[in-house]
Amino acid sequence: MSMPFYVSPEQIIKDKADYARKGIARGRSVVVVQYKNGIAFVAENPSRALHKISEIYDCIAFAAVGKYNEFESLRVAGVRLADTRGYSYDRQDVTGRGLANAYAQTLGTIFTENPKPFEVELVVAEVGSVAAQDQMYRLTFDGSVADEHGFVAMGGSADRITEFLKQAYAPDLEFPAALKLAVEAIAAGKAETQASEADESKTNPSAEPNPSASIAPEMLEVAVLDRNRSRRLFQRITAERLSELLRA
């Protein structure tokens, strides 16, 4: 009788985490930046139909990187939870913290109980009536939650983007300045990735690095939670408006 193959629980968890990180690292970057009058979401996303940034409820929005079908299922579940809670109780009972906790429980359960973890990373952000009340929560594939302040970056170039933002970010930025900073940070992360590809091409002639790290407005998805809007604080920035802001 053959003995069953044994893998330690520690090794299973490590393999799942490595698998999820590799999937997330292939995703295009997303930056969430707090500015004077709200919170800005900037994603490198050439698709006009498959959004990485979405409204969840009133003053709450959602951004994600990773596998689209997985984070889209989480987004839909979040919208349903928010609508149900707001209808059953009160709209003020729907909070970013409550949604972040619900997502954390879901991701944690999937990570521990399913053979394959979700290859996703999320930000749930809520804009308050003043900047001190703004909230940003970063959730990772294993259900971990971090309370972020000022800015947060996700995706394959997150480390490089975070270092860039640490050096250049300042509180109380106006929206155009915050937008340009986020775009520059994403471009810096992209440039470093391409530099790594160029180094690889020297040892692997078949590797072809991308020729440019610049990001055209049509390659960006941008939205804001603007505390000064009277209705629906979430607003998408059109490509035309985005081009004007980046040229200014």
Residue 91 inside a domain? The answer is: yes
DSSP letter, residue 91: G
The pairing of beta strand 120-126 with beta strand 135-139: antiparallel
15 assigned to some structural domain: no
What band does 207 get if pLDDT is binned at 50, 70 and 90?
A: very low
Average pLDDT over residues 12-34: 94
Mean pLDDT of the chain: 90
* Count of structural domains, the chain: 1
pLDDT at residue 150 in the model: 95
pLDDT tens profile 139-158: 999 999 999 999 999 998 89
Question: So what's the pLDDT on residue 66?
Answer: 95
Lowest mean pLDDT among 1-5, 16-20, 46-50, 87-91: 1-5
Residue 185 lies in a domain: yes
Contact 150, 169 (CB under 8 A): yes
The pair of structure tokens assigned to 166 is 């640490």
What span, in angstroms and rounded, lies between the C-alpha atoms of 75 and 61? 10
Query: Domain limits at 219?
Result: 23-198+208-247
Q: Domain with 44 in it: what CATH number?
A: 3.60.20.10
- Cα–Cα distance list, 24 to 19, 97, 101, 126 (Å): 9, 23, 21, 24
Please say if the pLDDT value at position 26 is more than 50: yes
For helices 175-203 and 239-247, the axis angle rounded to 10 degrees is: 90
Q: What does the pLDDT read at residue 230?
A: 82
At residue 1, does pLDDT exceed 60? no
Supply the pLDDT for residue 116: 95
Residue 60 covered by a domain = yes
Supply 29's token pair.
């970057």
- Predicted confidence at residue 145, as pLDDT, reads 96
Element (H, E) at 247: helix 239-247
Task: Please state the pTM of the whole predicted model.
Answer: 0.89
In a domain, 106, yes or no: yes
- What is the pLDDT averaged over residues 82-107? 95
Residue 3 domain-assigned? Answer: no
| 162: its two tokens | 């975070």
CA R_g for the chain: 19
In a domain, 79, yes or no: yes
Does the pLDDT value for residue 214 go beyond 80? no
- The confidence score (pLDDT) of residue 213 equals 56
Domain contains 70? yes
pLDDT of 201 higher than 60: no
What's the pLDDT band for 89 if we cut at 50, 70, 90?
very high
Decide if pLDDT at 200 tops 60. Answer: no
What is the pLDDT at residue 241? 93
pLDDT value, residue 191? 84
pLDDT band at 7 (very low <50, low <70, confident <90, very high): confident
The predicted structure's pLDDT at residue 4: 67
